[in-house]
Amino acid sequence: MTTIEAHGLRKVYGTKVALDNVLLRVDQGRILGIIGPNGAGKTTALNAILGLTAYQGELKVLGRDPWAERDQLMRDVSFIADVAVLPRWIRVSDLLDYVAGVHPKFDRAKAETFLAKTEINHASKVRQLSKGMIAQLHLAIVMAIDAKLLVLDEPTLGLDILYRKQFYDSLLNDYFDGERTIIVTTHQVEEVQDVLTDLMFINHGRIVLECSMEQFESRYVELMVHPDHVAGARSLKPINERQLFGRSIMLFDQVDRPQLAAMGDVRTPSIADLFVAMMGNSAVTDHQSQVREAK
């Protein structure tokens, strides 16, 4: 079952093309990470999916047109943005009362169960909570809503490493059930590598890379080259080369691992390694075509 499907998705602000003919499909039960530099089109794509901005092209989210049917769509979608939007004057207990009164799919008992694992006092006002606690409170509310799609836009921005780990642990252990679909954008890519099922790089409004994590792990290889084999490794046309402690580190796409292992130490690159390599690679457009042809 498909959760999101887009064909020719395009959005222009004045002379700036924020989304450029995007083709996208996200199936039910997947966790997709959208990675891109600032201004790449990540937030615009999320806003289109959430029905917060008009667009050109075709877009269906849970079978609905998000711009024309946003009211109905929001019954099955939850969203956490990078900036907490909870009213600072409201008490935690009153916030739970409010959400229970306005959202038909909110399960207060679930929210209470999650909050019991935190140090959040129900009598506290939001302004008295730390940023990490506000994130926990927001997550508790979202996880207690029986949504089919959860959209996270830089959800852990500004949180310390402990709260970031707790956030993703809670997301996987207390919320994700293999049927819900999650989309997350983040600059802290190392922390989501083991969370994602699918990966997308976006730049200048275009999808540069789209693959499952299984494809990522089988396609890409990073090689720390033995000095005697630098020329041979370069002949295999790495998509990126950098220097570390006087050694050449090369990143390859679809090159035989045993062949590379004979030239040095091989490993699967991190998402951050691949992202930096591709964003700095003048051949990004050519690589995009290769990726799509290989899928």
Residue 184 pLDDT: 94
Q: What is the pTM of this model?
A: 0.87
Q: How confident is the model at residue 91 (pLDDT cuts 50, 70, 90)?
A: very high
Q: How far apart are CA 281 and CA 295, in angstroms?
A: 21
Residue 251's contacts (CB-CB under 8 Å, 6 or more residues apart) are 220, 221, 222, 223, 238, 239, 240, 241, 269, 273, 274, 277
Output the pLDDT for position 191: 84
- Residues 25-44 pLDDT 10s: 999 999 999 999 988 999 99
pLDDT at 281 over 70: no
Rounded distance between C-alpha atoms, residue 289 and residue 272, angstroms: 21
Q: What is the side-by-side order of every strand in the sheet holding 240-244?
A: 240-244, 247-253, 220-225, 264-267
Question: For residues 72, 142, 40 and 59, what is the CA-based torsion angle, rounded to 10 degrees?
Answer: -20
Q: What is the pLDDT of residues 145-166, one digit of tens each?
A: 999 999 999 888 878 888 888 8
Tokens of 277: 């390599």
CATH 3.40.50.300 fits 2-204, yes or no: yes
Helices 92-102 + 108-115 axis angle, to 10: 150
The pLDDT value given to residue 65: 96
Other beta carbons within 10 angstroms of residue 165's beta carbon come to 13
pLDDT digits (tens, 9 = 90+) for 264-280: 999 999 999 999 888 87
The answer to whether 151 touches 79, Cβ cutoff 8 Å, is yes
Domain residue limits, the chain: 2-204, 215-294
- C-alpha to C-alpha distances, 231 to 177, 259, 260, 282, nearest whole angstrom: 48, 14, 12, 21
Give the separation between CA 279 and CA 274, rounded to whole angstroms.
Answer: 8
Least confident of 2-11, 92-101, 169-178: 169-178
